[in-house]
Amino acid sequence: MRSRGASRAGAETSTEASYDVVVVGSGAGGAVIASELSERGLRVLVIERGPWVEPDDISHDELAMIATLYRDGGAQTNTDADMFVLQGSCVGGSTVLTNAVCFRMPEEVRLRFESYGWRLSSEDMARCSQYVETAMSVAPLDERLHNAAAQRMHAGMQKLGLEIGRFDKAFDRCIGCGYCNVGCAFGRKRDASTVWIPRALAAGCRVLPRTEALRLQHRAGHVEALLCRDLETGRHFKVSAKRYVLAAGALHTPELLLRSGLGGRNVGKRTSFNAGAIAFAEYEEELDAFDGDQMCVHYFGEGYVIEQIHNPPMSFALTMPGWFDEHHAAMQRYRKRTAAGVLVPTQAVGRVFRGLGSKLLTRWFDHPNLAFRLPEEDVAAFRRGFKMLARVFLASGAKLVIPPLATFTELRSEDELYFIDERLQEQRDLVGFGSSHPQGGACMGDDPSRDVVAPNYRVYDADCVHVVDASLFPESVRVNPMISIMAVAKHAAESIAALVEASPSSEAVTTC
């Protein structure tokens, strides 16, 4: 893999460079804030733990790409190991690995956030959303890219009288290869690494890939430096600036605050997700659902959303229920099978914390712990969602449906839907349960006794630290959150820029 190392060398050796803002993370929040502040003439440095991967570095070797682009090689889980959490670890963050799905924050969600003290009006949200959508070239997915399974699902939804949704996506002449979740080898996907990071670089921003932010060093709430480690050489160095923006995601921003002893007693609490699992259907004929875009149609139900998703073979196999010969036989029918997911916006009952490994093995252990258990209300939403999805599959002509249940189950008619009620009672009853949309953990609001971040995006107990990513969200945003995060980052840039201009100067980089 190539990485752009010129900026790294300059940062490690310079004692004269000076930055206005250091941004930790280069995903949906970090890349936008870096671009916006750089284009305002501020001196910005971006710290990114993952490598810098370009289209020429990307292949359709799923195993190699997942190991390279995903945090922990895609194996990040909760403490009970019955839930995975997928996050990108590369320049561009998770946006590099999305299906480019773009939803605006629903107005009812914005109103809920407003009740927590958010100062983001409907007009501001619309303005910021339009701004990022234009930059990302968001448009309805070309129907010529729809795969055969999407057409079947469309027919099933139509037969049941459901309101069929089509996706808006951030593509540039997509060819429908179906490998969005391992990056775009053709450079056709619009994400943080192809839109906002290039804009930031053109405005003078510097990016340090393969660099880990270890902790913020502070005295009486004033941060004096960010301690970092070069992951290629193991060398430690410090970075100082007027302002620090944390945008490392909803698990790692709270982790960095916990490591630093900042944010107060509520850091890591109220973590939520758009969480889900995948059901499968088999047809008599070969669909070849891999031929086209992965995600084409969706349906919003009561407390859940159904999203059609057809993964390449390895990812398909990882989420397919069944064991040994049974699983092997199922994969032999890959061309006749397809899949769709049920996503539920969970309640904010999760918690990110530092376990013994993080506390005792600080030098080697760099993983946050996540405790999460689905409340019964969310489990009930999954039951409703999977029963509706099974009905859609059956109405579309599927000969059998396999819900993601720990007790292997095949449904051949609606008369068998009761199996879902009987066999889905708690989180551990789901196979392949997880999320790529973690949220919360450093929630923003107007109550310092409840919230971690003030409505101006500043951490309450630190005078120059801001948070600009999904960890701000006090509840699940309920839809794929990329555009919501980017729009909030655009809004945050306007207030942070004014604060930077009023800050005293500081030296930026020293080695240690």
Q: Which of 171-175, 235-239, 359-363, 474-478 has the lowest mean pLDDT?
A: 359-363
Question: Which whole number is the average pLDDT over 461-466?
Answer: 96
Question: Which whole number is the average pLDDT over 252-266?
Answer: 97
pLDDT above 70 (res 510): no
Which CA distances in Å does 49 have to 25, 231, 300, 440, 458?
7, 8, 35, 21, 23
Going by C-alpha positions, the residue among 151, 177, 80, 118 that lies closest to residue 373 is 80
Q: Which helix (H) or strand (E) holds 44?
A: strand 44-47
Q: What digits encode the pLDDT tens for the residues 53-76?
A: 999 999 999 999 999 999 999 999
Q: What pLDDT score was predicted for residue 221?
A: 82
Q: CA-CA distance, 379 to 219, in Å (whole number)?
A: 45
Q: Give residues with Cβ within 8 angstroms of 11, minimum separation 6.
A: 17, 45, 206, 208, 237, 239, 509
Q: What digits encode the pLDDT tens for the residues 286-306?
A: 999 999 999 999 999 999 999
pLDDT above 50 (res 340): yes
Q: CA-CA distance, 406 to 419, in Å (whole number)?
A: 12
Question: Coil, strand or helix: which one is 228?
Answer: strand
**Residue 198: burial class (beta carbons within 10 Å; 0-12, 13-18, 19+):** middle
Q: How confident is the model at residue 363 (pLDDT cuts 50, 70, 90)?
A: low
| Residue labelled with tokens 């932010």 | 213
Question: Which whole number is the average pLDDT over 161-177?
Answer: 96
Q: What percent of the chain has pLDDT over 90?
A: 90
pLDDT above 60 (res 493): yes
Q: How confident is the model at residue 377 (pLDDT cuts 50, 70, 90)?
A: very high
> What tokens appear for 383 in the block?
């039951």
Question: Which whole number is the average pLDDT over 425-442?
Answer: 98
Q: What digits encode the pLDDT tens for the residues 206-224?
A: 999 999 999 999 998 899 9
Q: What digits encode the pLDDT tens for the residues 120-152?
A: 999 999 999 999 999 999 999 999 999 999 999
Q: What pLDDT score was predicted for residue 3?
A: 40
Q: What pLDDT score was predicted for residue 364?
A: 61
Question: Which whole number is the average pLDDT over 249-264?
Answer: 97
> What tokens appear for 207 in the block?
């990016």
Question: Which whole number is the average pLDDT over 383-395?
Answer: 98
- Asked whether 291 and 179 are in contact (CB, 8 A), the reply is no
Q: What pLDDT score was predicted for residue 193?
A: 97
pTM of the model: 0.94
In terms of pLDDT, which residue wins out, 411 or 17?
A: 411
Q: Which of 326-335, 374-383, 445-454 has the lowest mean pLDDT?
A: 326-335
Q: What pLDDT score was predicted for residue 365?
A: 63
In terms of pLDDT, which residue wins out, 395 or 1?
A: 395
Residue 14: CB atoms within 10 Å: 15
Q: How confident is the model at residue 361 (pLDDT cuts 50, 70, 90)?
A: low
Q: How high does pLDDT run on average in the chain?
A: 93
Q: What pLDDT score was predicted for residue 11?
A: 38
Question: Coil, strand or helix: which one is 91?
Answer: coil
Q: What pLDDT score was predicted for residue 505?
A: 53
Question: Which whole number is the average pLDDT over 457-482?
Answer: 97
pLDDT above 80 (res 472): yes
DSSP-assigned letter for residue 339: E
pLDDT above 90 (res 356): no
pLDDT above 90 (res 2): no
